[in-house]
Amino acid sequence: MRHALIGASALLFSTPALAASGEAVNPWVALAYLVAGVLFILALRGLSSPETSRAGNRYGMIGMLIAVVTTLVTHDIASLPEIGIAIAIGGGFGFIVARKIAMTDMPQLVAGFHSLVGMAAVLVGVAAYINPGAFGILDDVGEILTVSRIELGLGVAIGAITFSGSVIAFLKLNGNMSGAPIMLPLRHVINLGVLAAIVVLTGYFSIMPTADSSTIFWTILVLAFLIGFLLIIPIGGADMPVVVSMLNSYSGWAAAAMGFTLGNTAMIITGALVGSSGAILSYIMCKAMNRSFISVIAGGFGAESGPADGAEKIDRPWKRGSAEDAAYMMKQAENIIIIPGYGMAVAQAQHALREMADMLEEEGVNVKFAIHPVAGRMPGHMNVLLAEASVDYDKVFELEDINSEFAQADVAFIIGANDVVNPAAKTDKSSPIYGMPVFDVEKAKQVFFIKRSMGGVGYAGVDNEVFYMDQTMMLLSDAKKMCEDIVKAL
């Protein structure tokens, strides 16, 4: 880590301060953008622990301020009032949304923000194409530089994919569009064809004279909007953590491509950071589901699931418990592990759950929270909700850190999760979730499973052996209501 940083900074300081197309710029300007880029690195570095995270966020803000002010003072700005108004409109809107949004809606907010980055990249790319002189990307005879054309083509394409893909992800997460995969016939052929066309056209765009290239440019843009849309519609709701991370990555690559066009180090560093960040998050999510990135992107997972396949299995014997039973037994327990899932977010049950955990702790019970990497609709979704309900983050554990403790646990309390506790992932090779790392809840002495009804199956559409175990008691109710009832019973 340290070596990489030293290497990068040595290299950055040795580069000559020239703008794209060889136009000389003030070295202080290049330095200012570099400082902004380094501050962005520190912003991410701060997130390695909750204690340093807020300082990190401040570094990010300072970096952004430096980048914006540097741009404003070094360019001949004829339209400063308009720009001020534009920033005020956008900034005011963004600030209000950030204040008002419910924490459970964070996945759709992030998807929405991604779409804006994508669109901004498209607008900058189009503006650079219309007015290349302002961006310093013209050669001596007034043609756009070849390398800049490739960057522009790729930049607007990635930006457009980010935009339309994020809009679909937003609509699915926000419930404006069904979370179920939408499967078009021949979709793989269509998608590959469109992608190939974008690549070929970008190559063609880079070699033809600027004056004749406008049709190609707009075609690339339209195809890219189309492919973003086509790529995301076949992907189902619970694969959204991967999609949101992937779009996060794309928004970074789009910014980097524009950074290349402008020869701007702040944009390039940021683009690379965000691009790697999203890529790593997608990788972590895929690994936590034991699925390949390709299979997630190919889509369709969970499409065949429906209430119908669960129907015949409901005949197996299972025990139903009440809030009073749960309260009584948990009061006697020594160690309780709570496993929250997306259902908790849907029911907004985090505050009631925390109240329950607090009351149990007053009874001398040791309460821990266990979070699966793919619980919820985006990476870290459950952690944020528990933090919102002011659950101490020392009590919240990741899968690999807590899984060995189930054997000592008196109670495993499952609220709104299902597939992440399904032992079929370990035993049943034919199961669609086989190989996915899951919590060993079957080792706990007693399991409480909050679920709305016995009819529904998890997202993967597979039955869960845990329902029928001797030590399992099903608490059939809305997650929030059940927690409140348990609190009352305590």
Comparing CB distances to other proteins, the nearer of 37 and 461 is: 37
410 within 8 A of 448, measured Cβ to Cβ: no
CB atoms closer than 10 angstroms to residue 210: 18
Chain CA centroid to CA 465, Å: 30
Active site residue: 140, 401, 419, 470, which one?
A: 419
Q: Is 419 a catalytic residue?
A: yes
Phi, psi of 474 (to 5 degrees): -85, 130
In the chain, the amino acid numbered 221 is L
What residues contact residue 471 under an 8 Å CB cut-off, 6+ apart? 444, 445, 446, 447
Q: How far apart are CA 290 and CA 458, in angstroms?
A: 16
Amino acid of residue 181: P
When the beta carbons of 19 and 216 are compared against other proteins, the nearer one is: 19
Give the nearer residue to other proteins in terms of CB position, either 47 or 199: 47
Tokens of 421: 């506790």
Backbone angles phi, psi at 408, to 5 degrees: -95, -5
Nearest CB to other proteins, comparing residues 251 and 305: 251
CB atoms within 10 A of CB 309: 13
Query: What residue has token string 């790319």?
Result: 125
Least distance (Å) from other proteins to the CB of residue 224? 16
Closest CA to 239 of 436, 477, 467: 436
Nearest approach in angstroms of CB 147 to other proteins is 5
CB 463, min distance to other proteins, A: 29
Query: Cα separation of 340 and 275, whole Å?
Result: 29
Euclidean distance between CA atoms 165 and 229, whole angstroms: 5
The residue among 32 and 226 lying less far from other proteins, judged by its C-beta, is 32
Closest CA to 297 of 251, 248, 228, 223: 228
How far apart are CB 399 and other proteins at their closest, in Å?
9
Sign of CA dihedral 230, 233, 235, 238: positive
Shorter beta-carbon distance to other proteins: residue 11 or 141: 11
State the minimum distance, in angstroms, from the CB of residue 249 to other proteins: 9
Give the shortest CB-376-to-other proteins separation in angstroms. 9
Catalytic residues: 419
